[in-house]
Each structure stands twice: as structure tokens, then as C-alpha cells.
């Protein structure tokens, strides 16, 4: 449990948010062209990093907006929070 600095609402308890998992997985532009392997890669395969990870969060019990976060999964330290569409920071 930790405190997240929502880019729209400010600091709130993590329990107000829901995590959307790994960020910057791009939706296939031509879904009909995809092989089964490519679908599996897009839908299921995850880096599941122990360390600095880029991920999506939603302020579910607040403004309900999505945003991105950089967090170290080995100690839950948050390095950066940035809005959807913004360029990911270099950590």
C-alpha cells in the first residue's frame, strides 16, 4: 500500500486506484493480419519486471481517469507519474 500522486487529483491512497498492468503495449493496427503467436504476445505475454516498471493506473474511486506511472516493483517506490499520451520519462 502506498500513496499515488494522481496527475488530476493529487495525493491519494493506493486503495482508491486500480492497476491496469504493463503500459505502452500498443494495440495491433491490423488485427485481422495477426498470427496466433502475435495475438498471444499482445494478449497474454508480460515482462512482469522485478524492478523499474512502466504501468497504467486508473483513479477508479476518484476522477476515473487513466494515467501512467513508473514504479519499482521490488520496493513499491514511485519514480514518476505522467498523463496518457505523454512521452515516458527516462528513468
Partner 1 sequence: MKNKYSIFSLIKNAFSQHENWKQAWGNPEPKKEYEAVIVGGGGHGLATAYYLAKKHNMKNIAVLEKGWIGGGNTGRNTTIIRSNYLWDASAGLYDHALKIWENLSQELNYNIMFSQRGVMNLAHNLQDVRDLKRRTHANRLNGIDAVWLDTKQVKEFCPIINISQDIRYPVLGGTLQRRAGTARHDAVAWGYARGADAMGVDIIQNCEVKGIKRNGDQVEGLDTTKGFIKTKKIGVVAAGHSSVIANMAGLKLPLESKPLQALVSEPVKPIIDTVVMSNAVHAYVSQSDKGELVIGAGTDAYISYTQRGSHDVVEGTLKAILELYPIFSRMKMLRQWGGIVDICPDASPIISKTNIKGLYFNCGWGTGGFKATPGSGDLFAHTIANDEPHKLNAAFNLNRFVSGDLVDEHGAAAVAH
Residue 90 in contact with partner 1, rule: CB under 8 A: no
For position 26 contacting partner 1 by CB under 8 A, the verdict is no
Could you tell me which of 86, 61, 57, 85 has the C-alpha nearest to residue 71?
57
Query: Does 43 help bind partner 1 (rule: CB under 8 A)?
Result: yes
User: What are the b/e assignments for 5-33, b being 16+ CB within 10 Å?
Assistant: ebbeeeebeeebbeeeeebeeeeeeeeee
Q: In whole angstroms, how close is the CB of 61 to partner 1 at the nearest point? A: 12
Q: Does residue 32 bind partner 1 (CB under 8 A)? A: no
Distance CA(17)–CA(21), nearest Å, equals: 12
Please, which of residues 57-86 interact with partner 1 by CB under 8 A? 73-76
List of residues contacting partner 1 (CB under 8 A): 1, 13-15, 18-19, 21, 36-37, 39-41, 43-50, 53, 55, 73-76
Amino acid at each position: 500500500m502506498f500513496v499515488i500522486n494522481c496527475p488530476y487529483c493529487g495525493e491519494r491512497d493506493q486503495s482508491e486506484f486500480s492497476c491496469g498492468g504493463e503500459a505502452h503495449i500498443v494495440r495491433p493496427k491490423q488485427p485481422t493480419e495477426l498470427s496466433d503467436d502475435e495475438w498471444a504476445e499482445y494478449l497474454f505475454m508480460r515482462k512482469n519486471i522485478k524492478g523499474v516498471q512502466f504501468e497504467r493506473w486508473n483513479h477508479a474511486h476518484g476522477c476515473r481517469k487513466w494515467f501512467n506511472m513508473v514504479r519499482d516493483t521490488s520496493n513499491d517506490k514511485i519514480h514518476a507519474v505522467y498523463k496518457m499520451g505523454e512521452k515516458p520519462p527516462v528513468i
